[in-house]
Homo-oligomer: A and B are copies of this chain.
Amino acid sequence: MITRAELQLLRSLSDKRHREELGLFAVEGEKIVAELLAAGHPFEKIYGTGAWKGKKTHEIAEQEMARASHFPTPSPVLAVGRIRRDALSPGELDSGLTLALDGVQDPGNVGTMLRIADWFGIDRVILSPECADLHSQKVIQASMGSFARVRAVVTALGAALAGIRAPIIGCALEGRDVHRIAGIADAVIVIGSEGRGLSGEVGRLLAYSVTIPRRGAAESLNAAVAAAIVCDNLRRGASG
């Protein structure tokens, strides 16, 4: 049994503004909640109906879940976590590999890129405030649990990238062959929005761009697909 006010609070977390105000986010769905729990994510509360066999802190009735849920067909579990507002440490971007998302608005792409960063052991993902919200259901769900494992920082990219020591590398239709970047250990790879490319502020900071050689006629590749190919090529040196 939970109060009406609590149900309203849970339901309000489908809205970014409410998430920001409350400092909380909600994620629903058996598969994704199980993945986040397996990755050790420290949820504040886990509401589960009788059908949810995983860890829970609050047992609630199906009718209550239907009222709390953001879904037309509620899942048996809804977990509430605290929004992470990590900041970059001074000099953090100087070493290691960073994936920087510049205005990537599609939540599926943002989540998929967290998963890619996790697979390739990229040190961190930084996101401009214009990106799809890191704490939205769709981003977390598309990340397949990588949300819990990847260091992700939302920050104004122009300020964060200015003056860093690592090269800032764009991904574009014209540039150096991506097959020649194997083994670079310190870099920031910037991925822009598919429709609008990089913001001017970030574009001016690029050391150079890389391009994925094309053999056919497609005009472009999906942003997450391009990011993955760049990561595979960067990691190539390490694997021989």
- Which residues of A come within 8 Å of B, CB atoms? 39, 108, 112, 115-122, 144-146, 149, 177-179, 212-222, 224-225, 228-229, 232-233, 235-236, 238-240
**A117 near B179: Cβ-Cβ < 8 Å:** no
Chain B hits for A216, CB < 8 A? 117-122, 149
State the number of copies, please: 2
Return the contact of A221 from the options B108, B116, B122, B218 (Cβ within 8 A).
B116
Chain B hits for A217, CB < 8 A? 39, 118, 146, 149
**A179 near B239: Cβ-Cβ < 8 Å:** yes
Please, could you name 11 A-B residue pairs with CB atoms under 8 Å apart, sorted by A? A115-B221, A115-B222, A117-B216, A119-B215, A119-B221, A149-B217, A177-B239, A179-B236, A179-B239, A212-B232, A232-B232
**A220 near B179: Cβ-Cβ < 8 Å:** no
Complex Cα distance A27/B119, Å?
Answer: 35
**B235 near A232: Cβ-Cβ < 8 Å:** no
Complex Cα distance A215/B150, Å?
Answer: 13
Complex Cα distance A2/B102, Å?
Answer: 45
Q: Knowing that A116-B221, A177-B240, A179-B239 are A-B contacts, what are 17 other residue pairs whose CB atoms are under 8 Å apart, sorted by A's residue number?
A: A39-B217, A108-B108, A115-B218, A119-B214, A119-B216, A119-B221, A120-B215, A120-B216, A144-B218, A146-B217, A146-B218, A178-B232, A179-B240, A213-B235, A221-B228, A228-B228, A232-B232
For A144, A146, A216, A217, the residue with the greatest tally of chain B CB atoms inside 10 Å of its CB is A216
